[in-house]
A = this chain, B = another copy of it.
């Protein structure tokens, strides 16, 4: 298992060089840069936008189409009441500290993490050991050691720090405050201890309508819209369970101090699935057998709490059998998430599934596993897979009275015998007047045992006394002409239940960035200039599939390039013509950086005999054949039906006009 970030070819990953390449090729760029930018907001340029669209298309095929999910598109603007009920108004917060000296606002967990890591580095320095910079930015070489003092720590202290870091996501605000006090953690920028952590709600607030009287938020997740539509979706699915809804759309979180590029942003694209399942019967999944042999790398809750990060590699079938993963449906989705990431081209040695610890889980979750990808920023949560139990449907149903439930016809009717209460409404109201509802509620809230006792009292004394908070002296007498309690028998033909929800939730931007790191490597060139970047995206995912390069600016090449580009377009294959005056080598190099898997050259031979060359981005080898054969090869490569090795055996090799032959 890899533990530090490398390129696809195992080279050390130099993030500054990669970042500058991504900027230059406009994968993404800080939003509003000419206005100085706003942290946590990014724009995707053409290659980033195409990459995002291809990831989304793959996601839609892999999940929505493959499993007949019901895709919906719900409002981002959400009124206060909805998010109050869901718990987000009260609980969707991070812990924030303020530096009293310079006013800097710090995210408490990040602050504790940063200072402890600095101390551990200082310790290693004092012991004369080398350490790896986790978030080193070579552009800032001078600042590299800022905050690090070469101070040797006791072995016991080192162990304490490491154990804290292994479960850093498990602390609440109070606990983070205690850590700051206990270890006297100070802001490296000022040398001052920050204020105790306070909760900061992460939702963006606005108001809806002209009179500003309807407070609302930008949704922090797409899930709520799906829950609120549950009854309509069940009806659309002709009342059949289980089923899943899905949604792709933007969500918003007002991060305290965004950092790490695309990995922690304030506006982001999510793809979320809500799979609704009967909570009884073990949450089986009808297609679990299709995935049970798939092996996953798991980091469970107990391992983390013991201060370790050891991975268990195990088939999902065994993981569910041993209850390491709670149930089949959760397990099914973990395996499907794994297959999806594999399809995108994620490096298989850089995936793990990490279970949330109790305090770390969102307020609604019963269990949660994150698919994490290893990048130069460390292990990054890219997909969450939570069991939200019946939490959301229950709270919304309770608040609104909407029946967010499933009614299932029972094969065998169920006979129920029990003590039943009947209220004489006509007499009850006039008797208790304004207290009527409270008294009625108290009577109806009684348990079976209590009812049995009250029934006896009614029979023996003709009345009973019951506690009703806030009415008279808290005791109310109810006589038998107002209420009857009888042992009754009834038959139920339907069963009602609130489904549980398994929620796989994908952060598309984080997946996109991690994928870029996993596909990136550098190639040395014979020219002796510095190594050139390559992004080896799978052809299905690559932003553009084919680069068309006329050898020179000769006018005869233009119509050939245009026609070829049209033919490819009609086959659904995206291409770009580069007829700039740069050398062929430079033009190919530019497209290696863009991750374009195939290149076609049009030269003087093309004009004579109609043959063109096809170049493979990863090996830089070329073949030459007539246009039809090359187009067929392109299509089979882009569809994933053939590999470059297949093409090399089918079509004659070509070595020629590529002036700058790279060292492989």
A211 CB-CB contact with B under 8 Å:
yes
On whether the beta carbons of A225 and B72 are closer than 8 Å, the reply is no
List the number of copies, as a whole number: 2
A45 CB-CB contact with B under 8 Å:
yes
Q: Mark A409-429, 1 if CB is under 8 A from B, else 0.
A: 000000000000000000000
Task: Give the docked Cα–Cα distance between A76 and B267 (Å).
Answer: 8
On whether the beta carbons of A38 and B208 are closer than 8 Å, the reply is yes
The segment from A27-35, A142-150, A357-365, A655-663 found at the interface with B is A27-35
Residue numbers in B under 8 Å from A38 (CB-CB): 75, 77, 79, 208, 214, 216
Known: A77-B252, A218-B206, A250-B250. A232 touches B82 (CB 8 A): no
Q: Mark A46-60, 1 if CB is under 8 A from B, else 0.
A: 101110110000000
Task: Give the docked Cα–Cα distance between A662 and B105 (Å).
Answer: 70
On whether the beta carbons of A49 and B71 are closer than 8 Å, the reply is yes
Task: Give the docked Cα–Cα distance between A52 and B73 (Å).
Answer: 9
On whether the beta carbons of B43 and A71 are closer than 8 Å, the reply is no
Interface positions of A from 101 to 143, Cβ below 8 Å from B: 105
A501 CB-CB contact with B under 8 Å:
no
On whether the beta carbons of A45 and B32 are closer than 8 Å, the reply is no
Contact partner of A72 (CB less than 8 A), chosen from B44, B232, B233, B574, is B44
Residue numbers in B under 8 Å from A52 (CB-CB): 73
Known: A206-B205, A576-B68. A400 touches B35 (CB 8 A): yes
Interface positions of A from 197 to 218, Cβ below 8 Å from B: 200, 204-211, 214, 216, 218
Task: Give the docked Cα–Cα distance between A211 and B72 (Å).
Answer: 35
Task: Give the docked Cα–Cα distance between A238 and B48 (Å).
Answer: 17
On whether the beta carbons of A29 and B232 are closer than 8 Å, the reply is yes
Residue numbers in B under 8 Å from A42 (CB-CB): 75
Residue numbers in B under 8 Å from A48 (CB-CB): 73
On whether the beta carbons of A74 and B218 are closer than 8 Å, the reply is no
Known: A38-B208, A233-B45, A236-B46. A228 touches B78 (CB 8 A): no
Closest to A106 in B: B210
Closest to A397 in B: B34
Interface positions of A from 179 to 235, Cβ below 8 Å from B: 200, 204-211, 214, 216, 218, 225, 228-229, 232-233, 235
Contact partner of A256 (CB less than 8 A), chosen from B210, B229, B235, B252, is B210
Interface positions of A from 557 to 598, Cβ below 8 Å from B: 569, 574, 576-578, 580
> How extensive is the interface on chain A, given as a class?
35 or more
A26 CB-CB contact with B under 8 Å:
yes
CB distance from A411 to the nearest CB of B (A): 15
CB distance from A457 to the nearest CB of B (A): 41
Task: Give the docked Cα–Cα distance between A210 and B87 (Å).
Answer: 20
On whether the beta carbons of B77 and A35 are closer than 8 Å, the reply is no
On whether the beta carbons of A73 and B96 are closer than 8 Å, the reply is no
On whether the beta carbons of A44 and B29 are closer than 8 Å, the reply is no
Known: A66-B569, A232-B26. A43 touches B79 (CB 8 A): no
Closest to A31 in B: B75
Known: A65-B574, A232-B45, A396-B34. A75 touches B267 (CB 8 A): yes
On whether the beta carbons of B228 and A33 are closer than 8 Å, the reply is yes
On whether the beta carbons of A35 and B81 are closer than 8 Å, the reply is yes
On whether the beta carbons of A79 and B35 are closer than 8 Å, the reply is yes
CB distance from A184 to the nearest CB of B (A): 24
CB distance from A463 to the nearest CB of B (A): 41
Contact partner of A29 (CB less than 8 A), chosen from B50, B65, B206, B229, is B229
Known: A45-B233, A229-B43. A254 touches B209 (CB 8 A): yes
Known: A204-B206, A228-B35, A236-B45. A71 touches B96 (CB 8 A): no
Task: Give the docked Cα–Cα distance between A285 and B75 (Å).
Answer: 39
Closest to A230 in B: B34
A70 CB-CB contact with B under 8 Å:
yes
A266 CB-CB contact with B under 8 Å:
yes
On whether the beta carbons of A49 and B73 are closer than 8 Å, the reply is yes
Q: Could you list 26 A-B pairs, sorted by A, with CB under 8 Å?
A: A25-B236, A26-B236, A29-B229, A31-B74, A32-B79, A33-B228, A35-B82, A35-B400, A39-B209, A41-B75, A45-B233, A46-B70, A46-B71, A46-B72, A48-B73, A49-B72, A49-B73, A77-B252, A77-B266, A200-B210, A204-B207, A205-B207, A208-B254, A210-B257, A218-B218, A238-B580
Q: Which 3 A-B pairs have the closest CB atoms?
A: A34-B402, A31-B75, A44-B73
